[in-house]
Chains A and B, each alone.
Chain A
Amino acid sequence: MEALKKNKKIIFNIGLLFVFVWLLITSYSQSKRKPENISELLNDFSWLGGKWPKWLDLPLMNWINVGFKALNEKYGYIFEAINNVLLYMLMLVKNFLIQAPWPLVILGVVVLTYFASGRKIGTTVFVGFCTFFIGFLHPIFWQKAIETTAIMLIGIFLCVIAGIPLGIAMARSARTRNVILPVLDLMQTIPSFCYLIPGIMLFGLGAVPAIIATFIYAVPPLVRLTDLGIRLVDKEVIEAADAFGASKKQKLLGVQLPLALPNIMQGINQCTMMALAMVVIASMIGTRGLGDEVLLGLQQLNVGRAAEAGIAIVLLAIVLDRITQSYGETLQERTTPAKKEKK
């Protein structure tokens, strides 16, 4: 058995080598700049010196373009359906917030903060003022901030419904984790324009590609923190649940998730902050919101306008951060009350 395990690795590596050789051969045969006869390469070794030879070129660009086109033509209706659903949800949230009288919205934020922060007056008043100042900076910012918030809320909603189950799956099996972790790394490192543009081609200009981009950019921390939170639950507590005969589901819902909740809330907080970071970038593909004010300010070299919009974004960030962060803290205090007394 031990020998087979070692061989598995060797077989896998040999497989990789074959893939590499296959890539070399296909790209050579598809290359338009290859020499007439392959024997020329063996007689004349000048291609080994100096510049990278033009025929040694992986046609990945071509492949992706062809594949993407086929995807768009064949399965376009799927993307259209997604587009419609997301747009409908977005409009629902946006219209509700825009049509509501602005003092009522501020009041709503204040009430939400009050209960999320565990009735901390200081935080509540602070958040109330921050919300007020968004509109106070420039009347148009109020609606723009709501548009931005609506996009973020939908993006975060997607993050939560996809990210938390993914995190749970990762915590449960090491194999799943090994598969998902590199994907998360990829999502966090790949420049956002690389998926913004295909997003536009699939969903058209506007809010939906921004939501998709927000999701790709913001979901990794939530997945990671959910996974971490569940795995950090005291091993003896899990053993206790097992020893008293908890089923897998009872263990997850009754013990693991509640104890991981402070970490998961931290993940949602991170998710929110990263979503906000996408706002300016998303404005470049025609998403309306606070980001396009910054963009306009830059285009007109209007420093004041850009700065004003920048401050509004920071204020929005503070509001969202305080609400999500303080909710996480409240949860944490509930499970470790001893700490609270020390403060």
Chain B
Amino acid sequence: MSKIEINNVYKIFGNNPNSVLPMVKDGATKETVLEETGHTVGLDNVSLKIEEGETFVCMGLSGSGKSTLIRHLNRLIDPTDGEILIEGTNVMSLNTESLIDFRRHKMSMVFQRFGLFPHKTVLQNVGYGLEMQGIEENKRNSVAMDKIQAVGLNGFENQFPAQLSGGMQQRVGLARALATDTDIMLMDEAFSALDPLIRSDMQKQLLDLQAELKKTIVFITHDLDESLRLGDHIGILNAGKLVQVGTPVEIIMNPADDYVEAFVKDVNRAKVIKAKIIMIPAAQADGIDKTNLIKVNEDQFIEEFLPQVVCNNANCEVVDRQGNTKGYITNKELQKSLSKS
């Protein structure tokens, strides 16, 4: 059973979405629907599965429906049609009370513009989810302090959000989401409002936290580099349709259509592709010149060993952590993987 399962979800915005649904199901495009009925198609037959402990990045340009999609998971938005299963429970079947309970204990969320409560201190903000869970103040504050420490904001717990910089505010948002210790974290363009240096810093912090906590994270972004860095799987949305789901390498090596291809066109492949992806397995590496070899770890990115290869005009021997030979890389493979198709 997948942690999160979305089956054939449609979302149509407008006065009377149900009347338009058959038309959308018949395959009318977003533009025709808008022109003929004045309704906007938010999501068009989206189905996907997200496994426990992975970071799933949902990517697309603005207006592609990615923020709409993430809001379906905790029902900040209700779908027009389709089902959403979280740990096997259909969230559409929940009544108001169980929905509130579900939001308190199953999921937490980080927002693009932080969504902090301006009238509460950092400590109170971080403890908000726990407050909703009905945990008493002392315990709440001690958990909140732990999380504030985890995101590196100790000393700021009694400040108000407006007194902090953007990056620090988003750390508060992150700490607030971590505090409830829910299995699932939703991050809606969480780092998009931050400047590049702080963003990269926050990405690293998230990766470090995730390595330790192993939560199921659904991350929304319009930034390809970010999605390649964070995602175990990436789903690409275009005009409400999910056009491709795959690992970062799959997306880069085999873009499903022109839209995805345009997206990945400018990616620095050397930064994304690991040695083990392009190597020729040791068993098939008969005709390779093994006289001049450089040892490369299988998890190294091309970028990291490329200069050595160029300088020494050598082939690579790919090894795992224990030093066992896994395969080889020649200039031919490097050339193939780095050239834009």
Contacts and interface: CB of A to CB of B under 8 A. Distances in A.
A244 B117 contact: no
Contacts, number: 81
Contacts of A239: 71, 76, 109, 111, 115
Interface stretch (B100-108, B248-256, B291-299, B321-329): B100-108
A236 to B, nearest CB: 4
Interface residues on A, range: 20 to 34
A1 B76 CA distance: 26
Contacts of A339: 162
Interface stretch (A29-37, A87-95, A330-338): A330-338
Contacts of A164: none
Contacts of A258: 119
B119 A243 contact: no
Contacts of A240: 109, 111, 115-117, 128
A31 B290 CA distance: 116
B88 interface: no
Interface string A235-253: 0110111111111001000
Contacts of B163: 337-338
Contacts of A244: 103-104, 108-109, 128-129, 132, 176, 180
Interface residues of B, number: 35
A40 interface: no
Interface in B65-116: 71, 74, 76, 100-105, 107-109, 111-116
Contacts of B109: 239-240, 243-244
B19 interface: yes
A255 interface: yes
B139 to A, nearest CB: 17
B301 interface: no
A239, A243, A247, A334: residue with the most chain B Cβ atoms closer than 10 Å: A243
B63 interface: no
A236 B108 contact: no
B152 interface: no
B261 to A, nearest CB: 33
B118 A259 contact: yes
Contacts of A241: 117, 128
B112 A245 contact: no
Contacts of B114: 236
A246 B101 CA distance: 9
A335 B114 CA distance: 15
Nearest to B101: A245
Contact of B116 (A237, A245, A337): A237
A258 B117 CA distance: 10
Nearest to B173: A240
Interface string A1-15: 110010000000000
Given A240-B115, A337-B163, 15 more contacts: A239-B109, A239-B111, A239-B115, A243-B74, A243-B76, A243-B107, A243-B186, A244-B104, A244-B132, A245-B104, A245-B132, A258-B119, A334-B160, A335-B118, A338-B162
Interface of B: 15-16, 18-19, 71, 74, 76, 100-105, 107-109, 111-119, 128-129, 132-133, 160, 162-163, 176, 180, 186
